[in-house]
């Protein structure tokens, strides 16, 4: 199993550009989520999904969209990038939302200039 994979590893955007961060898992996990990690702020939940076709907002959802058309994929879209979205983004997955371990992807380092 590849586990949780993310692409790209690094990305530089100009303010106002849009892009999609890709996340995929091959463990047949129902639960997937996106976090952003900023220095001194820990990991903050952006959006999550409890299964294909179901998504919900986390702690910091503004400026981001998600969709879950398949169990395997959970892309994160930045609609109009802003410097405040400069961060490291981690995708994670679990067997279910209820009391389970989260497996993290390798991360995407995004810089918005």
Partner 1 sequence: GENVEQHPSTLSVQEGDSAVIKCTYSDSASNYFPWYKQELGKRPQLIIDIRSNVGEKKDQRIAVTLNKTAKHFSLHITETQPEDSAVYFCAASEGSQGNLIFGKGTKLSVKP
> For residues 49 and 97, is the Cβ–Cβ distance under 8 A?
no
Residues 57/47, Cβ–Cβ less than 8 Å: yes
The nearer residue to partner 1, 51 or 107, going by C-beta atoms, is: 107
- Contact between 89 and partner 1 by CB under 8 A: the answer reads no
Establish if 74 lies at the interface with partner 1 (CB under 8 A): no
108, 9 contact by CB (below 8 A): yes
CB of 112 to partner 1, least distance (A): 20
Q: Which of 17, 72, 77, 102 binds partner 1 (CB under 8 A)?
A: 102
- Residues 90, 37: Cα–Cα separation, whole Å: 8
The distance from CA 58 to its chain's CA centroid, rounded to whole angstroms, is 11
User: Per CB under 8 A, does 87 bind partner 1?
Assistant: no
| Interface positions, 10-39, toward partner 1 (CB under 8 A) | 31, 33, 35
63 forms part of the interface with partner 1 (CB under 8 A): no
> Residue 44, interface with partner 1 (CB under 8 A)?
yes
Give the interface segment with partner 1, choosing from 10-18, 67-75, 76-84, 100-108 (CB under 8 A). 100-108
- Cβ-count burial of 46 within 10 angstroms (0-12 exposed, 13-18 middle, 19+ buried)? buried
């Amino acid at each position: 199993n590849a586990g949780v994979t993310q692409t790209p590893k690094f990305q530089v955007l100009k303010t106002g550009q849009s892009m999609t961060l890709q996340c995929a898992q091959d463990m047949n996990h129902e639960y997937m989520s996106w976090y952003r990690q900023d220095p001194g702020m820990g990991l903050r939940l952006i959006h999550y999904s409890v299964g294909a076709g179901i998504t919900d907002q986390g702690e910091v959802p503004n400026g981001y969209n998600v969709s879950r058309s398949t169990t395997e994929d959970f892309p994160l879209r930045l609609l109009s990038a802003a410097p405040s979205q400069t961060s490291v983004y981690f995708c994670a997955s679990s067997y279910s939302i209820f009391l389970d371990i989260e497996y993290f992807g390798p991360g995407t380092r995004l810089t918005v200039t």
